[in-house]
């Protein structure tokens, strides 16, 4: 497998992290976004949206980070990471939607300001980040993993945890403080302790400067 990747993209890190957690042999191909490599005809032939990550599985092209997580779990039969039962699958999908929505428009957007000098309004996206982190903090009360069925039950990580991890862990780079969220911080540490974990490249900006 080949993964088209950009080191500072949390979306790309999701895909790379899951490949590593699954111990899947793969080649990482870094795409030079700064010089517009994602807008070239060659790359647009791989992903018409001009975005990373893209997974190339022997000619099967999968774009969108969450779609890559689903593809890998399904292809490899990893029902531990993506449950087959209706309720379990729905819980995972709920948090994949959060990763694509509230996380993208909250902590990920806040980080875009400090890392990439985007024009987002800091006070607006930081407030969104805290709003979703408050919900995640509540959801993790008594749970080791975000998509666990009930507090206090034995559970395992799912692709929902992978999808939420990168931008949550790097939220301080976007000036979003995690001090008020002990459940989230404990959950981040659990993800980091998983066999095969690979870190997301750090950028010394925001609260992480």
Predicted pLDDT at 130: 98
Predicted pLDDT at 155: 84
DSSP output for 12-38: HHHHHHHHHHTT---EEEE--GGGTGG
Domain end (from 22, 51, 75): 75
pLDDT digits (tens, 9 = 90+) for 52-80: 999 999 999 999 999 999 999 999 999 99
pTM for this entry: 0.96
156: CATH? 1.20.1050.10
Give the number of domains in the chain: 2
User: Are 65 and 129 in a shared domain?
Assistant: no
Predicted pLDDT at 151: 84
Domain end (from 24, 56, 75): 75
Answer whether residue 191 shows pLDDT above 90.
yes
Predicted pLDDT at 120: 95
In a domain, 80, yes or no: no
Element (H, E) at 3: strand 2-5
Round to whole Å and give the CA distance between 96 and 30: 25
Round to whole Å and give the CA distance between 195 and 93: 24
pLDDT digits (tens, 9 = 90+) for 93-148: 999 999 999 999 999 999 999 999 999 999 999 999 999 999 999 999 999 999 99
User: Are 130 and 179 in a shared domain?
Assistant: yes
User: Are 115 and 66 in a shared domain?
Assistant: no
Q: What is the mean pLDDT of residues 169-177?
A: 98
Domain span including residue 133 = 86-208
In a domain, 15, yes or no: yes
pLDDT digits (tens, 9 = 90+) for 2-39: 999 999 999 999 999 999 999 999 999 999 988 888 98
Answer whether residue 153 shows pLDDT above 80.
no
């Amino acid at each position: 497998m080949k993964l088209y990747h950009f080191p500072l993209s949390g979306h790309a890190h999701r895909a790379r992290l899951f490949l590593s957690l699954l111990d899947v042999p793969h080649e990482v191909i870094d795409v030079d976004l700064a010089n517009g490599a994602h807008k070239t005809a060659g790359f647009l032939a791989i992903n018409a949206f001009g975005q990373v990550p893209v997974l190339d599985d022997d000619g099967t092209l999968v774009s969108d980070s969450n779609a890559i997580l689903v593809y890998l779990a399904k292809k490899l039969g990893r029902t531990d990471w993506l449950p087959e039962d209706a309720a379990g699958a729905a819980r995972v999908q709920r948090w994949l939607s959060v990763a694509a929505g509230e996380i993208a428009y909250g902590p990920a957007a806040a980080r875009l300001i400090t890392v990439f000098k985007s024009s987002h309004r800091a006070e607006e996206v930081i407030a969104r980040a805290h709003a979703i982190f408050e919900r995640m903090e509540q959801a993790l009360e008594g749970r080791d993993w975000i998509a666990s069925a009930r507090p206090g039950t034995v559970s395992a990580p799912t692709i929902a945890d992978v999808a939420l991890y990168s931008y949550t862990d790097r939220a301080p780079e976007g000036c979003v403080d995690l001090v008020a969220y002990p459940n989230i911080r404990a959950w981040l540490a659990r993800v980091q302790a998983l066999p095969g974990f690979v870190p997301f490249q750090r950028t010394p900006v925001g609260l992480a400067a």
